[in-house]
Amino acid sequence: MTLLLDTHAFLWFCQGDAALIATAKTHIENATNRKLLSIASCWEIAIKAGLGKLKLGEPSNKYIPEALARTGFELLPISLAHATGVETLPLHHRDPFDRLLIAQALIENVPSSATIPFLMRMGSSASGNPESGVRSQESARSRRRIVMRKFLLVLVMTPWGWAAGEAWADVKSTIADIERLPRGKRPAAYEPALADTNVAAADRVELIRAFAKHIKVLSPAYAKDRFPFDEQSWIALLRQGLDADARDADIAWALAQLLVDRQDHRSALPVLRAFKQAHPEHHHALAWLAWCEAQQAPAAKPADPLTFPVHFCVLTRNPQAQRAATLEQCKKECEILNTTFRTLDGKPLARFQFKGHSSHQQIKNTPSELLGFGDRAEECDTNQVVKAFNACKDRRVRDPQAINFYIYDSYAAKPGFADTTSHGKRNSNHPFVLLDWERLNNNIQNAEAHEMGHAFGLEHVGVPGATGKSSTNIMASAGEQFGSGGKRDLGFTPSQAALILYHAKRTHERLRAAR
């Protein structure tokens, strides 16, 4: 067998790094296997070492030759055929080093036998006639589709007889390998693994469980024409997983959310009934089931949105913040919420009514620990804020019959007080919002609606490939590692609206009952 290692796999092997999976290490250490390192990898190592992104302990022109001699690797030159071979590769992945490695793996077949590159641990298998030796453009394209992913731990060039199933000997290791990747790359990693027909049924269910944990933060409805995945294939996979394990909450969540956002209520109902039966207290199951049942039998006249009083309190002593967070501006914040807290088709989900405003001057002597969070020179611990909020008895600081908005000055290690992180907390349907003063007047990423979404039980979502200028869902966040949070100018999806209404009803009841 001939092995072509990508840059990371080579370095991991040379350094004894545990990141290199056991199956790959076994093949590399097999003395009967030929081991290759591309000149492209040498180039990549030199570039990254020069940029300070890679610590070798010595210059690359010394490290690489010594490593090759010590490990028995041969250098694979870059030929004209290799360089031009990247032209016809599909654009699933754009890294120029990896594309060149893939082209080399496709071209450098084992003599006298049809061969195929494998992404070790991805277990991809090929289709075609191993006896034909045909190297047509179509067969080349077929082989290229197999390898065009980022997960180049080892490219294995092997006769057709080598079983793809070997790479699936330990599905837990496979999942662990994928989970080491940045989160935004994991769904695409799972797709070819799940498409492999050699994967055993039990292993497939394990993969679907892991897959569902990531895709439940994704939906085609979170952006305009920016969804690089096949939603229908996801639905089919999740159905397979749910059929095999009806109690898995992540699979049920991911499948139900896709169906609700597609407004396929008929298909969503049996999924949600099973979801509720398995998890009778799960808010998503309860909210989405109530939503779909209501959509199947709509009322003659839709109910008016619930109205929520809002109280503002200025925690920060920052003079600029105090000049910004005036009584009039806080009244305007309610108007902003009433304009932006809407569904994708522009329907309001709640009404917000200004109730009160406490300036910093008015509350600067309060005994409440909440005041200490106004200008704290450390990253905000929202769990501590929740404790202080729930313990607060000063009605100037916390109005128990309103949603409380706190204006504060956020802090983070690198930007210091230039940070603008804000927070919304549902807090068992006693919600509050911490809004950095620089986000007032809807200055940054629709912060008012975004944090109020959190206050009504919503979580962050991801938008693959989004930039700062992209139109995205209100709850989009770069923190999900799929792309930028974007402009957050697209309204709430049906699944999000269902959760908001579910928690809005309970919040309204609790605020009215508060004393």
Residues 166 and 26 occupy one common structural domain: yes
CA atoms in the 13 A half-sphere facing the CB of 256 = 31
User: How high is the pLDDT of residue 94?
Assistant: 63
User: How high is the pLDDT of residue 133?
Assistant: 30
User: How high is the pLDDT of residue 481?
Assistant: 93
User: How high is the pLDDT of residue 99?
Assistant: 80
> Is 384 inside any structural domain?
yes
Which range is least confidently modeled, 157-166, 235-244, 404-413, 491-500?
157-166
The 3 state secondary structure assigned to 160-213 is CCCCHHHHHCCHHHHHHHHHCCCHHHHHHHHHHHHHCCCCCHHHHHHHHHHHHH
Residues 275 and 319 occupy one common structural domain: no
User: What does the mean pLDDT of the chain come to?
Assistant: 85
Residues 70 and 13 occupy one common structural domain: yes
Residues 317 and 447 occupy one common structural domain: yes
> Is 440 inside any structural domain?
yes
Q: Which tokens belong to 290?
A: 């109530």
User: How high is the pLDDT of residue 161?
Assistant: 25
Q: Over 90: is that where the pLDDT of 169 sits?
A: no
Q: Looking at 175, 204, 219, which one is the last position of a domain?
A: 175
CA angle 95, 197, 204 (to 5 degrees): 85
301 vs 118, more confident: 301
The model's confidence at residue 300, banded by pLDDT at 50, 70 and 90, is low
* Dist CA 329 CA 442 (whole Å): 11
Q: Is residue 81 within 8 Å of 106, Cβ to Cβ?
A: no
- What's the residue count for the chain? 515
pTM of the entire structure? 0.71
Residues 123 and 162 occupy one common structural domain: yes
Residue 83's domain spans which residues? 2-175
Q: Is residue 326 within 8 Å of 281, Cβ to Cβ?
A: no
Residues 169 and 236 occupy one common structural domain: no
User: How high is the pLDDT of residue 93?
Assistant: 53
- C-alpha pair distances (Å), 40 with each of 83, 146, 220: 10, 21, 37
Contacts for 96 with CB less than 8 Å, ≥ 6 apart:
86
The model's confidence at residue 170, banded by pLDDT at 50, 70 and 90, is low
Total domains present in the chain: 3
357 vs 94, more confident: 357
The mean per-residue pLDDT over the stretch 249-257 comes to 98
Residues 169 and 193 occupy one common structural domain: no
The mean per-residue pLDDT over the stretch 155-159 comes to 37
User: How high is the pLDDT of residue 155?
Assistant: 43
> Is 512 inside any structural domain?
no
Q: Is residue 487 within 8 Å of 445, Cβ to Cβ?
A: yes
Residues 318 and 448 occupy one common structural domain: yes
Q: Over 70: is that where the pLDDT of 109 sits?
A: no
The model's confidence at residue 8, banded by pLDDT at 50, 70 and 90, is confident
- C-alpha pair distances (Å), 302 with each of 295, 346, 497, 505: 11, 15, 14, 15
Residues 28-80 pLDDT 10s: 888 888 888 999 999 999 998 998 888 898 999 999 999 999 999 999 999 99
The mean per-residue pLDDT over the stretch 265-288 comes to 97
Q: Over 70: is that where the pLDDT of 137 sits?
A: no
The model's confidence at residue 120, banded by pLDDT at 50, 70 and 90, is very low
Residues 350-365 pLDDT 10s: 999 999 999 999 999 9
> Is 324 inside any structural domain?
yes
The 3-state DSSP class for residue 31 equals: coil
Question: What CATH number does the domain containing 383 carry?
Answer: 3.40.390
Question: What CATH number does the domain containing 274 carry?
Answer: 1.25.40.10
The model's confidence at residue 90, banded by pLDDT at 50, 70 and 90, is low
Residues 269 and 377 occupy one common structural domain: no
The model's confidence at residue 110, banded by pLDDT at 50, 70 and 90, is very low
User: How high is the pLDDT of residue 119?
Assistant: 37
CA Rg, the chain, in Å? 28
Residues 133 and 248 occupy one common structural domain: no
> Is 67 inside any structural domain?
yes
Residues 84 and 137 occupy one common structural domain: yes
* Dist CA 24 CA 16 (whole Å): 12
* Dist CA 73 CA 67 (whole Å): 8
> Is 62 inside any structural domain?
yes
Residues 371-396 pLDDT 10s: 999 999 999 999 999 999 999 999 99
122 vs 237, more confident: 237
DSSP β-ladder status, 154-159 and 115-119: antiparallel
The model's confidence at residue 302, banded by pLDDT at 50, 70 and 90, is confident
Contacts for 490 with CB less than 8 Å, ≥ 6 apart:
222, 223, 224, 344, 471, 472, 473, 474
User: How high is the pLDDT of residue 131?
Assistant: 28
Q: Looking at 126, 143, 175, which one is the last position of a domain?
A: 175
Residues 424-438 pLDDT 10s: 999 999 999 999 999
The model's confidence at residue 314, banded by pLDDT at 50, 70 and 90, is very high
Q: Which tokens belong to 469?
A: 């200028």
> Is 472 inside any structural domain?
no
Fill in the DSSP letter of residue 413.
T
Fill in the DSSP letter of residue 374.
S
Which range is least confidently modeled, 111-125, 167-181, 270-284, 350-364?
111-125
Q: Looking at 261, 296, 331, which one is the last position of a domain?
A: 296
DSSP secondary structure string for all residues of 305-316: PPEEEEEEEE--
User: How high is the pLDDT of residue 298?
Assistant: 72
Residue 320 burial class via C-beta count within 10 angstroms: exposed 0-12, middle 13-18, buried 19 and up? exposed
> Is 35 inside any structural domain?
yes
Residue closest to 403 by CA, chosen among 452, 475, 347: 452
Which range is least confidently modeled, 137-141, 206-210, 470-474?
137-141
Residues 39-53 pLDDT 10s: 999 999 999 899 888
Residues 166 and 274 occupy one common structural domain: no
User: How high is the pLDDT of residue 2?
Assistant: 78
DSSP secondary structure string for all residues of 107-159: HSPPTTS-EEEEETTT-----S-TTT----HHHHHHHHHHH-SS--SEEEEEE
